[in-house]
Amino acid sequence: MTIKNTMRQIAKNAALAAKKLSRVTEAEKNKALSRMAEELEKNYKFLLNENSKDVVKAKKSGISNAMIERLTLKQATIEQMAKGIREVVALPDPVGKVISMWRRPNGLLVGRMRIPLGVIGIIYESRPNVTVDASALCLKAGNAVILRGGSESIKSNLSIASILQGVLRETSIPVNAIQVIPITDREAVSEMLKMEEYIDLIIPRGGEELIRAVVSQSRIPVIKHYKGVCHIFVDVSADIDMAVKICLNAKTQRPGVCNAMETLLVHQDIAAKFLPQAVNKLKKAGVVIRGCEKTKVILKGIEKAREDDWYAEYLDLILAVKVVDNIDEAIAHIEKYGSLHTESIITSDYTNSQRFLNEVNSSTVLVNASTRFSDGFELGLGAEIGISTTKLHAFGPMGLEELTTTKFIIYGNGQIRT
Amino acid sequence: MTIKNTMRQIAKNAALAAKKLSRVTEAEKNKALSRMAEELEKNYKFLLNENSKDVVKAKKSGISNAMIERLTLKQATIEQMAKGIREVVALPDPVGKVISMWRRPNGLLVGRMRIPLGVIGIIYESRPNVTVDASALCLKAGNAVILRGGSESIKSNLSIASILQGVLRETSIPVNAIQVIPITDREAVSEMLKMEEYIDLIIPRGGEELIRAVVSQSRIPVIKHYKGVCHIFVDVSADIDMAVKICLNAKTQRPGVCNAMETLLVHQDIAAKFLPQAVNKLKKAGVVIRGCEKTKVILKGIEKAREDDWYAEYLDLILAVKVVDNIDEAIAHIEKYGSLHTESIITSDYTNSQRFLNEVNSSTVLVNASTRFSDGFELGLGAEIGISTTKLHAFGPMGLEELTTTKFIIYGNGQIRT
């Protein structure tokens, strides 16, 4: 079979599975998910063995240590995967929920009921845990999933899929509800992205380059964020201790993720007091500062920030710092250089807190809290399939509900339109 | 300026306008909309005069009478447009509404606030009233709009835009909140569909061919429906009088629209009694019947339905009729041939009504009511910008809320992530 035909068959099988899956009860889905957690734990030796083949090959190919680390499974990682599935079991099933219902003057009772999206394609890089997480979330929301991981993790992903599908074979859920693409050739992705008649949504997870490649080729709607250039604005009225703690947390707690702070904006009338204290702590944590002219006056000997720095998603222990005249300049800076991801204001001023919340139209806007809370679990969505800076369908962290849509259901008793 | 540069300028202007527009109060938007209604009515002679130039040209070019009719404005049409705007004024502004809010264990207060989508591109055919309707809805939801009507209505659309923009000039709302593309060349649309950095959503309104052309070119998310192949299933337990009335209404009240019935499915055990009564009325209304073999046994002398007929959106006084064994066959038929638009069951059986509502995943599913209710006004959304059979973002009739997205707003008091 050609790659095109194989991909067509996978997509068709997924679409058929999705139709059946939309009618499966929550109890059946939860039972299958619980069994998957068990089977992953039971078969950890098989998984570690398959994974080690990927790791050996990856090391030979000379990929970076960071990627090797993300690729490598341990028994603890597998236990973590099983725990993740059990958390999804505990979440309420969104499918079938009627989110509102109203009576029309002619007596029609009109409601909106949540239904699955259908078939979801996930395109991601080396972490094999995404195979498990995404499968569990898509299944719980009643969607069939087609998974395309990095070529370096193919044996790991196929071995995970064989366990998950093995469980499905014991149930009434179609086995094609979860499929890992067995082809590592790039053509497989190109073909997948053309199958708009079978696939309803594509979620790419990975670096900006991967995501841009997916968007440029896809005829299917894509939900994504390219990058997270997250800002914290320390207002003149900020509690300095609080501001220092939040900045340290937002920059250093996990610098390589999309909700870490990349640019710090500081009100000019608090900069001389706040910046030395904050930067003292940040430097101790290994952070390199790149500042504007005014920042350089306060903090001697730091690097100068260039125009590029304001757009940069460092994903590293580097921070751009700019002193601004007021909240207007801070908001204007975010509007110009921001990525619509996450921004926070540290302030004790009521009006400015409201202005920031109302006027900054990023997907997550915070007052007096770390940007690191921009996360499905942290915001209480129960889980996260990704973060969207696409305004359509979902904006910000996406949980189970964002893997559904709603249909209108209408109860009549003979109404006709006049 | 090249077409590309002109389109780039229009899109940039719209994006700038959208940023300001997202902060305009409901009162300001309503005042501007009310003034627009007044000015359209005041300037009806100018509008009729500009429109007559389009009509003269269109007649010379030999386009169909139906299109000439859709293109032609009358004083009553203009009054209707003004009335439409006033209805939008009366609708609540969705922007700024916090749709839910919850407390996290760490004290964070997390909410979701409605915000405008940004810039919306509308691509449509000859009806100049779309220029007014779409402008009013987009403005009320805080979005900037770029309108691209058919080349045959260019003078009408530009004259309408000049009046709407004239009103905006008196207000704090940027004049580029509403722009009609002055270029009739197709290249203008192609360029527009590439400007994903400025335009957030494309809504095409028109025939399937127009919509397919837009989808195939667009890098911007498109919300659309290709066609409405709407079904009514008359179950064995249906009240026959009710079923006849609803079928007549769904097929003949306005046969040229997307929510008209195109295929009638009838349970085999009621077909001999129901079909002659229904078809008698339908034939009197001018409807031509194309039936399956079983239908032809009951209704002598009708045309035979071919495979193509089950996929057909006639938009005309033609109806495909199929006798089915039971509700399973009806649902399977809809799943195979349907367009995810609108389907209705006529039944007095509780279980079958629930099965149909739950198992048919079209955007609107009705029990004992006409498919013609699949409409934003009729369902109580207050207005309609279009109907979506794309499952992403909106599925079914779209009102003002569907022209917004939500951002997360978070009130903290110093929370950091651990």
Contact across the interface for B370 and A417, Cβ inside 8 Å? yes
Question: Out of B96, B117, B246, whose CB is closest to A391?
Answer: B117
Run of H or E residues at A114: strand A109-116
Which pLDDT does position A65 carry in this prediction? 86
Low-confidence ranges of chain B (pLDDT < 50): none
Which pLDDT does position B185 carry in this prediction? 93
Degrees (nearest 5) of the Cα angle A80, A85, A90? 125
Q: B230-378 is classed in which CATH architecture? A: 3-Layer(aba) Sandwich (3.40)
Which pLDDT does position B409 carry in this prediction? 98
Q: Which residues contact B79 (CB under 8 A, 6 or more apart)?
A: B41
Which pLDDT does position A6 carry in this prediction? 96
Which pLDDT does position A238 carry in this prediction? 98
Distance in angstroms (rounded) separating the CA atoms of residues B321 and A28: 37
Contact across the interface for A369 and B412, Cβ inside 8 Å? yes
Contact across the interface for B118 and A407, Cβ inside 8 Å? no
Q: In this prediction, what percent of chain A has a pLDDT beyond 90? A: 94
pLDDT per residue as tens digits for the range A261-284: 999 999 999 999 999 999 999 999
Give the β-pairing of B144-148 and B178-180: parallel
Which pLDDT does position A126 carry in this prediction? 74
Neighboring chain A residues of B19 at a CB cutoff of 8 Å: 335
Place of tokens 């039972």: A31
Contact across the interface for A408 and B396, Cβ inside 8 Å? yes
Give me A328's structure tokens. Answer: 């207007």
* Minimum distance, in Å, between the CA of residue B47 and any CA atom of chain A: 31
- Report CA-CA distances (Å) from A28 to A86, A114, A175: 14, 18, 14
Distance in angstroms (rounded) separating the CA atoms of residues A119 and A368: 39
What CATH number labels B3-224+395-410?
3.40.605.10
Give me B55's structure tokens. Answer: 């009509």
3-state secondary structure B314-364: CCCCEEEEEEECCHHHHHHHHHHHCCCCEEEEECCCHHHHHHHHHHCCCCE
Round the average pLDDT of chain A to a whole number and report it: 96
Which pLDDT does position A332 carry in this prediction? 97
pLDDT above 90 for A125: no
What CATH number labels A3-224+394-410?
3.40.605.10
* Minimum distance, in Å, between the CA of residue A36 and any CA atom of chain B: 27
Which pLDDT does position A63 carry in this prediction? 86
What pTM was computed for the model?
0.94
Distance in angstroms (rounded) separating the CA atoms of residues A368 and B392: 33
> Number of C-alpha atoms within 13 angstroms, CB side, residue B76?
0
- Report CA-CA distances (Å) from B382 to A62, A98, A411, B399, B402: 60, 20, 19, 7, 12
Amino acid at B261: M
Residues A53, A55, A58, A64, Cα dihedral to 10°: 180
Contact across the interface for B364 and A412, Cβ inside 8 Å? no
Which pLDDT does position A1 carry in this prediction? 79
- At residue B311, φ and ψ (nearest 5 deg) are -95, -5
* Minimum distance, in Å, between the CA of residue A142 and any CA atom of chain B: 12
Give me A47's structure tokens. Answer: 């998984």
Q: Which residue of A has its CA nearest to B346?
A: A414
Distance in angstroms (rounded) separating the CA atoms of residues B26 and B35: 14
- Whether residue A129 contacts residue A84, with contact meaning beta carbons closer than 8 Å, is answered with yes
Q: Name which of A113, A410, A413 to mutate to probe chain B: the one with the most chain B Cβ atoms within 10 A of its Cβ.
A: A410
Distance in angstroms (rounded) separating the CA atoms of residues A366 and A349: 14
DSSP A237-259: T--HHHHHHHHHHHHHSSTTSTT
> Number of C-alpha atoms within 13 angstroms, CB side, residue A124?
28
Which pLDDT does position A62 carry in this prediction? 86
pLDDT per residue as tens digits for the range A320-365: 999 999 999 999 999 999 999 999 999 999 999 999 999 999 999 9
CATH 3.40.309.10 domain range(s) in chain A: 230-378
Question: Out of B246, B363, B373, whose CB is closest to A407?
Answer: B363
**Predicted ipTM beyond 0.90:** yes
Which pLDDT does position A67 carry in this prediction? 86
Q: Name which of A16, A104, A417, A418 to mutate to probe chain B: the one with the most chain B Cβ atoms within 10 A of its Cβ.
A: A417
Run of H or E residues at A178: strand A178-180
CATH 3.40.605.10 domain range(s) in chain B: 3-224+395-410
